[in-house]
Chains A and B, each alone.
Chain A
């Protein structure tokens, strides 16, 4: 675990070791399919889909997070949602697949700062050390009593995708963790 010695002062505030903020509005799709559909989505989206477990890929603001061996969470800027939906639906026309628009199901938080591992560890059972959870790793997991999708976007930054109805709860647990220094 990262040292938080100097990073977190009691009571948080300006010197807090981690910062929680809302991510930019996004369009989201859960895609499920086999090899042919995966290749089709990759070329239509302009982003390769990781076949390696628990890895994210992105290109030109379009993101594909591996969730399972035939399941990805696709994320794009909110303004591109309609375009992405129609491009994907058209490309996948004759190929067996499932594509569900979940743009409004999730919200996302960006958690960052030198104490980010400790703050997330307040609710997440995974080893968040960079050796075990490197930049580019993503996975569905738990944060306290909420299911989340966790993606390490930088050494000291994670994106947390959470069901909208659980957002106040997750924000609350994170706020306590930030205040207590993880």
Chain B
């Protein structure tokens, strides 16, 4: 089982307490009615799906209940860093994302 650091509880907690909640930093347009269909579809359905470091939302659903963000390496399944919702995506030291 993975141990995931919850930035609100400020401790590592077992994976079973968490839920994955999709890609992070996907911003909704302030006025969707101004978008053409292609841009709206892009927002709704298309995600980056990288091989390597991926920014994603997680929720500590059976703990503090809060959503937060994580950088996870999709190759190794290692959670590299977690940070609170609303914070900017942190820069990783070069050695931490070798892929």
Contact = CB atoms under 8 A, between A and B. Distances in A.
Interface in B46-78: 62-66
B11 interface: yes
Contact of B1 (A69, A125, A139, A140): A125
A54 B11 contact: yes
Given A67-B65, A68-B66, A53 B9 contact: yes
B65 A141 contact: no
B1 A67 contact: no
Interface string B13-56: 11011000000000000000000000000000000000000000
B83 interface: no
Consensus secondary structure, chain B interface: loop
A69 B13 CA distance: 16
Given A68-B65, A142-B62, A54 B17 contact: no
A3 to B, nearest CB: 23
Given A53-B8, A142-B16, A68 B64 contact: yes
B8 to A, nearest CB: 5
A180 interface: no
Nearest to A142: B62
Given A53-B11, A139-B9, A69 B66 contact: yes
A120 B64 CA distance: 20
Contact of B17 (A68, A69, A141): A141
B63 A141 contact: yes
Given A69-B8, A139-B9, A53 B64 contact: yes
B10 interface: yes
B17 A125 contact: yes
B16 to A, nearest CB: 5
A84 B51 CA distance: 54
Interface in A133-153: 139-142, 147
B62 A147 contact: yes
Interface in A83-122: none
Nearest to A146: B62
A139 B14 contact: no
Interface of B: 1, 8-11, 13-14, 16-17, 62-66
Interface of A: 53-54, 67-69, 71, 125-126, 139-142, 147
18 contacts: A53-B8, A53-B64, A67-B64, A67-B65, A68-B64, A69-B66, A71-B64, A71-B65, A125-B1, A125-B16, A125-B17, A126-B13, A139-B63, A140-B63, A140-B64, A141-B62, A142-B62, A147-B62
